[in-house]
Every structure is written in structure tokens, then in C-alpha cells.
Structure 1
Amino acid sequence: MAAPEIRKTLVQVEEIFHEGGPRAETPLLRGAILSVVKNPFAGRYEPDIQPWMEDLKPLGMAMALRLIEALGGDPKRIEGYGKAAIIGQAGEIEHGALWHAPGGYAMREALGEAKAIVPSSKKVGTVGTRLDVPITHVNAAYVRSHFDAIEVGLNDAPRADEIVFILAMTTGARIHNRAGGLPAGEIKGEDGLR
């Protein structure tokens, strides 16, 4: 296979000061990076697609590092993450599934070996399709305060023969979180769950 052919990239960052309650001194940053890539399998069924995952690894790392930079540059500030893919209509859902390892492992490595599995979503869609990217705590999936999502999409992507690969990160818990569960300060860090 060959390195992915990128048409465009978008980086977005939200600063959230409140959700109707008291204003936070430091806003929650919730960001995403989207790369629109030509789908080499568009329009045909290819039984052996796994080799493309290796070619996607540099893209995953470049996107992870760029998103960390957009969120302030300090990997230690990142507390939540997620990944996703929107596949153009000439592709199939399995093409988006190839992003699991290159996107997820890149973020975990860039953040210093985060322990929790990276949540994911994917779907086939048309130009302008939007998608909610699930987010959980980087070291413990059971930390309820960090269950979040960020909506992403581009007005001109994915075209039928493209895939939009997405990484998302946050700098903390939801503003005004009070749904209980395991507090981030009590993470044991043994298994990526607690």
C-alpha cells in the first residue's frame, strides 16, 4: 500500500466555561482533528485490507501530536480521548475500522502510554455527515465524569471515495459533572478500567 493521500485537515477546539452553572476558572478544552483521506478501497471489495493500517500509523501520530499542541501542548493536561471515522459512500464500514490501531495507539503513545481503551464510532455517510465521537478518561474507562462526546463533520467531506479519520481529546471532566462514579483522583491504573 501507499501513504494516505490527504485532501484537507481541520483542527477544532472548544473552550467551555459553564453549562448553565457557575463559571469555571479554567475552561474545559474539547478538541478534535479531522483528516480527509482518499480511500484506496473505494468502489470495490478488497479481502486483504489490513496492510493499510501500517501505512496509517504515521498519520495517526501526526494527528495526535497536532491535537495535543492545539490543546496547549502539554500531554499531561489531556484527560479524555476518543476516535472515529466517517466513510464515503463508495467505501464500507470496515475501511473505517482500520483506524482503530493507528489512531488509538498513536494517542496512547503520544500521551505517555495511556491505559484505557480508546472509545470509537464510525459510519458510512455522504458529504456533510456529522458524527459524535465518544470520549472517556485516558487511564480508566469507569471514570464517569469524563464520559463525553464531541460532534464533528465537514461541509465537503467525505466524498464517495474518501474517509474522514478523527481523533478527539479533552483536558478534563465535563463542566459541572456530578453524576457520581469513580473519581479521577482515585484511579488505580491497573487495568485501564479503574
Structure 2
Amino acid sequence: MTGIELRKRVLTVEEIFHEGGPVAAEPPKRAAALSVIRNPFAGRYHEDIAFFMEVLNPLGIDMAERLVAALGGDPKAIQGYGKGAIVGQAGELEHGALWHVPGGYAMRAVLGDAKAIVPSTKKVGGPGTRLDIPVTHINASYVRSHFDAMEVGLADGPRADELVLALVMTTGARVHARVGGLKAADIKGEDGLR
């Protein structure tokens, strides 16, 4: 990927059988893809940073494709998603915001016609910083059963001049979802909300 200095990538898959209740007949899965890259803006303020979103686009596509493959290979099996970034201490929060477009649009492109906004979070921190990536249903943000999060992080990143970029996908609702609200089967799919 031209213009990106990749130090490390990590792919984690969780299969959730139960959380104290009955064992799921088909355990939902959630997966996170993380890429640790050099932050080209670390160390001092740069006015013009927006161009770097274009540079990140191929990385976003690669990460989204890896997630789908790790979750069985069928984009239609993906029901939830989210994204986030951890900025090393020589960077600024806005450097994490550069991931909004390439991370979100990559997942939408790989998944097809996903309608809901991709929830996101970011923070500045050092090696070992953890980040909870919010997750919602890919077609309707108000599907309560799919409100979730996946914690991500690395023991050795981000270093001061790095970014940890993360994408998360899930194959279903929380394992024991039962608090009501809009059901996935009742999505109208008109506006990404309901």
C-alpha cells in the first residue's frame, strides 16, 4: 500500500457461546482487524492532513476483506460493524479522525448495501491503550439487540509516532439479547436508522 508504513497487523475472532445463559445454537462471532502504521503527522501540527484519507483507502478495503474472510467469507453473514483509532502520544485526536471515511466506506463497499452509519471512537494514548469499538447493525442503527462493543488494543502500540486503526464486524446480536426494541427482522432499511 503506497504511502503507508505498516508495522504490524492483528486479526482477532471471538466466538460467544453464552454469557451465563443457555448455549447459543449458532454462536455469534465478532472480529477485529487492527493495523499499526506510522503517523506521518506525528510530532508537530500540520494544517493539511485530509489528503491522507485517500492514502488510507486501500488499507481499509484490505482490513474489511480480512474481517469478512475471518468470519466465514460471506459478506451477507455480517450483521454489525464499527471502527476506531488509537493515536500515539506525538499525534493529535484529529489524526484518528482521518480513519472515519476510509474505514467506514471500506466496510460498506465490501459488505454491499449497508445503510447505517458506522459508529466510531478514537483516543490518544501510548502502548497498551485499550479502546472500546462501538457496534451497531449494518442497516439500522436502532436495532437494540446489536448494540455492542469490542475492546481492542496492543501491548506494544501505538508508539508515539504511530496510529492503531481498527475495524470490527459481527455476525449477529449479543448472545442473550432480550431487551426489546426494533428487531433486525423488522428493519425497513430506508434511512439507516430503522
TM-score w.r.t. the length of structure 2 is 0.99
CA distance in 1, matches of 2:113, 2:107: 8
SS at match of 1:114: coil
Q: Which residue pairs with 1:169 in the alignment?
A: 169
SS at match of 2:47: coil
Q: Which residue pairs with 2:91 in the alignment?
A: 91
Q: Which residue pairs with 2:67 in the alignment?
A: 67
Q: Which residue pairs with 1:45 in the alignment?
A: 45
Kindly indicate whether residue 178 of structure 2 is the aligned counterpart of residue 178 of structure 1: yes
- The one-character-per-residue Cα deviations of 1:69-101 (angstroms, maximum 9, x if unpaired) are 001110000000000000000000000000000
CA distance in 2, matches of 1:125, 1:134: 18
Q: Which residue pairs with 2:34 in the alignment?
A: 34
SS at match of 1:62: helix
Q: Which residue pairs with 2:190 in the alignment?
A: 190
Q: Which residue pairs with 2:15 in the alignment?
A: 15
SS at match of 2:189: coil
CA distance in 2, matches of 1:3, 1:67: 23
**Identity percentage over the alignment?**
70
CA distance in 1, matches of 2:190, 2:113: 13
Letter in 1 for 2:190: E
Q: Which residue pairs with 1:155 in the alignment?
A: 155
Moved over 3 A (4+): none
- The one-character-per-residue Cα deviations of 1:26-76 (angstroms, maximum 9, x if unpaired) are 111011000000000000100010000000000000000001100111000
- The one-character-per-residue Cα deviations of 1:102-146 (angstroms, maximum 9, x if unpaired) are 000000110002000000000000101001000000000000000
After the TM superposition, which residues 98-177 of structure 1 pair with which residues of structure 2 at under 5 Å, given as runs?
Answer: 98-177=98-177
CA distance in 2, matches of 1:44, 1:125: 16
Letter in 2 for 1:163: L
CA distance in 2, matches of 1:161, 1:74: 36
CA distance in 2, matches of 1:191, 1:123: 29
Letter in 2 for 1:126: G
The offset of 1:171, in angstroms, is 0.1
Letter in 2 for 1:28: P
RMSD, aligned α-carbons: 0.6
The aligned length equals 193
TM-score w.r.t. the length of structure 1 is 0.99
SS at match of 1:25: coil
CA distance in 1, matches of 2:34, 2:113: 22
CA distance in 1, matches of 2:38, 2:112: 30
CA distance in 1, matches of 2:131, 2:51: 26
The offset of 1:3, in angstroms, is 1.9
SS at match of 2:15: strand
CA distance in 2, matches of 1:85, 1:113: 24
